[in-house]
Amino acid sequence: MEKLERHASFGGWQEVYKHESEVLKCSMNFSIYIPPHDDNEKLPVIYWLSGLTCNEQNFITKAGAQKYAAEHKVIIVAPDTSPRGADIPDDEAYDLGQGAGFYLNATQQPWAENYRMYDYIVDELRNLIDQNFPTNKVQSVMGHSAGGHGALVIGLRNAEIYKSISAFSPIVAPSQVPWGQKAFTAYLGTDQALWSNYDAVELIKSSYMKMPILVDQGSEDSFLKEQLKPEILINACRDNCYPITLNMREGYDHSYYFIASFLNEHIEFHLNYLK
């Protein structure tokens, strides 16, 4: 790994690293906040997955997470949202290609070789963090928008790895909304049986374990009615007796102002299960 940045913050360190990913076949960046801790102390980890167009910088510069992570003594890791580079397939649209990996393993060309963000997050990055930083190998996952979709899918499919899931403004049913339908068709093809592996609503229907889930959604989110549709997730959870907490936040939108307002509550939610 190559250390790109190191900043003192609330007694800990906000760092950014670059490494060569075998899974994605390119260089990848990730950010990590390490709170103040004793020399031999091992800490839990929360993974943050960002949304469309974002990279490893958005969360660490806009969310104000360092203060809360220091107070609660939890490591927070925020990776990039897709493979990147001159040789990596891309698209002119903001919602496909670089910056829009959608946290899945692509099966279609030209995406299949590099766009394997699901395996990268669940296996490669997690192992890299555990091998190089003071973790106790106990983790939860959270995210925003397309990253909220990623957090729900990755958490639901790996209940033996992650203790809890939370999301801000998540795409809960990508198979039923334009963002997801476009990405899934491009990355996975037209076989909707494959789509269900990356659709939180479909996963809830077949889940064998009840993962703790917290969702916050702003009432003034411009994507609420067309792309997010949290009511689909709530209905699926109700029909399958799956416990979930959904907070509709009056007046809040899709921005990091929203995330920063309630991030501490999400970290506290996860710490209930990480401890």
Name the residues annotated as catalytic. 145, 221, 254
**256 contact partners, CB below 8 Å, separation of at least 6:** 58, 62, 63
Yes or no: say if 150 and 180 are a contact pair by the CB < 8 Å rule: no
Minimal CA–CA distance to 144: which of 191, 214, 194?
Answer: 214
Taken in order 45, 262, 8, 12, the sign of the CA dihedral is negative
Give the whole-angstrom CA distance, residue 102 versus residue 189. Answer: 14
Minimal CA–CA distance to 151: which of 135, 127, 139, 167?
Answer: 167
The secondary structure of 235-246 as a DSSP string is HHHHHTT---EE
Give the whole-angstrom CA distance, residue 65 versus residue 171. Answer: 22
**27 contact partners, CB below 8 Å, separation of at least 6:** 18, 19, 20, 21, 84, 85
